[in-house]
A and B are shown apart, each in its own frame.
Chain A
């Protein structure tokens, strides 16, 4: 308990974390705010996509995009201790190395879940507002607010844990943040649309599976359809396996390496 309290204080005292929260809200809102405009201008569309509820759902699901910033939250929970040289005080308080780390994982996953939920709710609010400018837009699925909130909680928690794992493996803060951003902003996203066969097994592809949208896009470069992704439950299961894997990785690295 004492370690969880200490980690919570660190999280709440750091003003940077409130900046990350605002950034997450902005990211969700930009995604969902611009999508109605983009959809209403799809060239060569036989019917206006906004008259299809699957397309309207996809606008709401753009609000889930902030998970990318929860990975940063997770990375910083570990690396800032080495960056600021507070790791020594943290580990001096604990007889066993795993204790502060478990506290970090618990606090980071809870904070990641809450942050992603708040960002997603704001983003969905923006989606509803943006859609109100398109009278032809139909209503979204009735469960979209609930299901997206649950997806936000799960992905926020697990991606934050992956961040803790990345931070434990790469203690250098700038390097760890750069790697995490390049992976989640670029590689993971590209794989999820350009190489679905690989990407569907990775976090962004799994989140697409969770979203469970119905679409089929056969463009000149990108051929992707919702049937390419895993179903929501297997996707949630595999995402959880990733979370557990990164918990184990961070425990192994933290208990073996010297602290300095």
Chain B
């Protein structure tokens, strides 16, 4: 069974076609980079996958099911989305407790997760004062809280410093080794080249390349290959 699949996904906002006809299968147990220029439709496709936006047509499947047909979606897929946030008046721990309650997960994982994302010291601080990197780490903790088998990450490296980015790379590789399926979007191509197994590149709502990283880039760097593909259009 494939973990993530887009089937002829189309999403139109008024008269703007954000995703035009996306069909792609994401291989299980691998890290797939979801790449494309600004406005290519990455976040839109991920929101459709996660049941937050309604596709104009087509379907998105997780473990062969649409999001709305998963009993406990939070236990199967964890997500970091660029437009999601935390209640700033509450502490990091309180925010995670709410997420645990909503997903019917035991609170006991909160401490170990805060440690994993290196936020133990800030656990009882209000998230209002959090830096961008701290918020991003907390978002990763929230995505991992139910130990899901699938991770959907929209620009998780946003706001992380170089140490954070290296830490994230190791974390993702580690999670993939545990057999998790990871779909991650990013604009940091040099970083992605060191992280991902496969790539899916989209532009203006359409797929322009997909497959194993090595096959797509050949002897070029990911950045060179990406620029060549996007400019060809």
CB pair B83 A88 closer than 8 Å: yes
Which of B92-100, B116-124, B200-208, B223-231 touches A?
A: B92-100
Taken together as a complex, chains A and B put the C-alpha atoms of A256 and B52 apart, in Å, by 10
CB pair B102 A95 closer than 8 Å: no
Taken together as a complex, chains A and B put the C-alpha atoms of A6 and B85 apart, in Å, by 16
On chain B, the residues within 8 Å of A3 by CB distance are: 102
CB pair A86 B102 closer than 8 Å: no
CB pair B99 A89 closer than 8 Å: yes
CB pair B73 A80 closer than 8 Å: no
Which of A12-20, A50-58, A147-155, A170-178 touches B?
A: A12-20
Taken together as a complex, chains A and B put the C-alpha atoms of A101 and B182 apart, in Å, by 30
Please report whether the interface of chain A is mostly helix, strand, loop or mixed according to DSSP. Answer: helix
Q: Any chain B CB within 8 A of the CB of A93? A: yes
Q: Which residue of B lies closest to A12 (CB)?
A: B94
Q: Any chain A CB within 8 A of the CB of B54? A: yes
On chain B, the residues within 8 Å of A260 by CB distance are: 47, 52-53, 83
On chain B, the residues within 8 Å of A100 by CB distance are: 102
On chain B, the residues within 8 Å of A259 by CB distance are: 47, 52-53
On chain A, the residues within 8 Å of B99 by CB distance are: 6, 89, 93
Instruction: List CB contacts (< 8 Å) of A230-258 with chain B.
Output: 256, 258
Instruction: Give the bracket for the number of chain B residues in contact with chain A.
Output: 20 to 34
Q: Which residue of B lies closest to A1 (CB)?
A: B104
CB pair A9 B68 closer than 8 Å: no
Q: Name B52's contact: one of A2, A80, A86, A258 (CB within 8 Å).
A: A258
Q: Given the known inter-chain contacts A92-B50, A93-B99, A259-B52, please indicate yes or no for A84 contacting B86, CB distance below 8 A.
A: yes
**Closest CB in chain A relative to B144 CB, distance in Å:** 13
Instruction: List CB contacts (< 8 Å) of B39-91 with chain A.
Output: 47, 50-54, 67-74, 79, 81, 83-90
New A-B contacts (17) at CB < 8 Å, excluding given A6-B98, A92-B79, A95-B69 = A2-B102, A2-B103, A2-B104, A3-B102, A14-B90, A15-B89, A85-B83, A85-B85, A86-B98, A88-B83, A92-B74, A94-B73, A94-B102, A95-B67, A95-B73, A256-B54, A260-B83
A residues near B (Cβ < 8 Å) are 2-3, 5-6, 9-10, 13-16, 80, 84-86, 88-96, 100, 256, 258-260
B residues near A (Cβ < 8 Å) are 47, 50-54, 67-74, 79, 81, 83-90, 94-95, 97-99, 101-104, 142
